[in-house]
């Protein structure tokens, strides 16, 4: 929906935006207030440029209140969350960054929420924004401010213990989807081994992948943090499922549609089902000692074995493509004997190869030494442009961070912690949001905040086997 909204805003098709959806209006509210305050930081609140931005918002607001029962729109901010008319917004990274800046502004005025009434006038909104800017500059609050048609809920925009615990249910749902996917993938592998055929039902796994494609847009912080925690012993099943999620993440960040993102994940799953019946997988399985011509012949033999199981659908086509390109180098310095001209590997092949290698490093499988997430990031960075698509590597690093979500670290203050959110793209990549590994007091610390300027990440750490469950419990509280 957000992509459609962006296109409509760019093309001026405002009338087609569904403002009855709190998600749509909520995101527009965050973007509009952010834009107004950015303009106001350059000009005065009552400057013409600021008024233009305010007028644009008021037009949208006037249409949105028609869809509410009482003619009011409530906006509540709690930490990294925004709730509009009772519905928590699902924000992508850029929108989340804007919300975080708006939260900081609300915190300076000690505002937990607002109720904007139907009769709100432009002058009243300008007055509110002017007061908000004023108190933020003099370290004051909005306690004595009274503006018609705007009700201010005073207090800091932080979640109470009850509100934080209510969010655990959402985290537990994400964990449930992830664990269920692991179990179903393992069961599928067991069935393939027993039947010696990769032609088995995969409908449940596909539905799980569809759920994950939605979670990557809404709850990617949670699901990405579960992968490096190694909640089950490393094996082909966990590698297959985790690699599928990393590949889907890259596909999602490129901007591919949700159904294609799901296809990419299922291509990884099928690739490993085929592996169990003797089909080699990915360029990491390039046969040692074979020349270009022999490698091509080996690829074709594996493609021939698969022909009875493909039916012309998208996933079948991807299975053939991935097998055909097995053993090909990423580099295009020379043309391969089975291509008429120089060419790069297909985008999906490049995505999956990078995702697989990163997970092999995390889990320590197929001859790779097990590495912590930050060291795995360094490994793929060092081979960008040689073994991996440098653009995809840059995308992975910008998404996962230098210290990926789920990385366990030690702070210079001496406490151990786990990374729960990556920094904003414009922030220092060495200063993510962490949660202390203390179940009695799992404090969240945003290292990018000025008050924590004297605390840094000393280094990443490995956990003992009995510490992994404790870390996962603390992580899911975030």
Series of mean pLDDT values for 10-residue runs along the chain (478 residues): 37 54 80 77 68 84 82 82 80 78 83 88 87 79 87 80 55 81 94 91 90 75 74 87 94 88 93 88 64 77 80 81 77 53 78 93 87 90 88 88 85 87 75 81 82 87 67 62
Q: Could you give phi then psi for residue 194, rounded to 5 degrees?
A: -70, -40
Handedness of CA 301, 305, 307, 311 (dihedral sign): negative
CATH 1.10.3210.10 segments of the chain? 163-400
pLDDT of residue 5: 32
For the structural domain made of 163-400, what CATH number should be given? 1.10.3210.10
pLDDT tens-digit readout, 24-39: 878 888 888 788 877 7
Q: Contact, 420 vs 435, CB < 8 A?
A: yes
**C-alpha distance from residue 126 to each of 50, 139, 149, 193, 267 (Å):** 9, 20, 12, 68, 53
Exposed / middle / buried, residue 222 (Cβ in 10 Å: 0-12, 13-18, 19+): buried
**pLDDT tens figures, 299-343:** 888 888 887 777 777 888 888 888 878 777 766 544 455 555 566
CA–CA distance, 321 with 43 (Å, rounded to integer): 55
Q: Judge contact between 230 and 468, C-beta under 8 A.
A: yes
Res 243: pLDDT: 94
The pTM of this model reads: 0.62
**Per-residue model confidence (pLDDT) at position 465:** 60
Judged by DSSP in three states, 353 sits in helix
**How many helices, marked H, and strands, marked E, lie in the chain?**
16, 10
């Amino acid at each position: 929906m957000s992509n459609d909204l962006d296109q409509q805003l760019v093309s001026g098709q405002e009338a087609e935006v569904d403002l009855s959806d709190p998600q749509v209006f909520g995101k527009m509210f965050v973007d509009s207030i952010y834009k107004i305050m950015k303009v106001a930081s350059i000009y005065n609140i009552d400057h013409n440029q600021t008024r233009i931005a305010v007028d644009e918002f008021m037009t949208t607001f006037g249409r949105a209140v028609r869809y509410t029962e009482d003619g009011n729109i409530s906006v509540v901010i709690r930490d990294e969350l925004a709730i509009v008319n009772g519905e928590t917004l699902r924000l992508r990274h850029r929108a989340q960054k804007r919300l975080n800046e708006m939260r900081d502004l609300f915190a300076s005025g000690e505002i937990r929420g607002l109720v904007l009434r139907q009769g709100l006038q432009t002058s009243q909104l300008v007055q509110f924004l002017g007061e908000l800017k004023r108190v933020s500059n003099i370290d004051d609050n909005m306690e004595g401010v009274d503006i018609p048609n705007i009700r201010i809920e005073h207090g800091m925009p932080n979640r109470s213990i009850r509100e934080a615990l209510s969010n655990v249910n959402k985290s537990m749902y994400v964990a449930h989807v992830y664990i269920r996917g692991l179990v179903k993938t393992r069961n599928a592998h067991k069935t393939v081994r027993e039947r010696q055929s990769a032609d088995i039902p995969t409908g449940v796994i596909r539905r799980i992948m569809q759920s994950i494609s939605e979670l990557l847009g809404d709850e990617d912080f949670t699901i990405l943090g579960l992968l490096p925690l190694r909640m089950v012993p490393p094996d082909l099943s966990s590698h297959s499922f985790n690699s599928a999620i990393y590949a889907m993440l890259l596909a999602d960040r490129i901007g591919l549609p949700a159904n294609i993102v799901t296809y990419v994940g299922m291509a990884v799953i099928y690739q490993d089902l085929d592996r169990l019946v003797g089909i080699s997988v990915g360029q990491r399985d390039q046969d040692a000692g074979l020349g270009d011509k022999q490698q091509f012949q080996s690829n074709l033999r594996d493609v021939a074995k698969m022909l009875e199981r493909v039916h012309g659908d998208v996933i079948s086509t991807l299975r053939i493509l991935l097998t055909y390109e097995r053993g090909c180098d990423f580099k295009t310095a020379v043309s391969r004997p089975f291509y008429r001209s120089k060419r790069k590997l297909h985008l999906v092949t490049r995505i999956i190869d990078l995702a697989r290698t990163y997970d092999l490093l995390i889990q320590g499988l197929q001859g790779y030494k097990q590495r912590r997430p930050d060291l795995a990031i360094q490994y793929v960075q060092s081979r960008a442009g040689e073994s991996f698509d440098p653009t995809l590597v840059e995308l992975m690093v910008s998404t996962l961070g230098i210290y990926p979500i789920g990385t366990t670290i030690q702070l210079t203050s001496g406490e151990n912690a786990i990374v729960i959110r990556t920094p904003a793209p414009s922030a220092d990549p060495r200063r993510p949001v962490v949660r202390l590994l203390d179940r009695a007091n799992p404090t969240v610390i945003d290292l990018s905040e000025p008050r924590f300027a004297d605390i840094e990440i000393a280094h990443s750490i490995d956990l003992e086997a009995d510490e992994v469950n404790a870390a996962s419990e603390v992580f899911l509280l975030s």
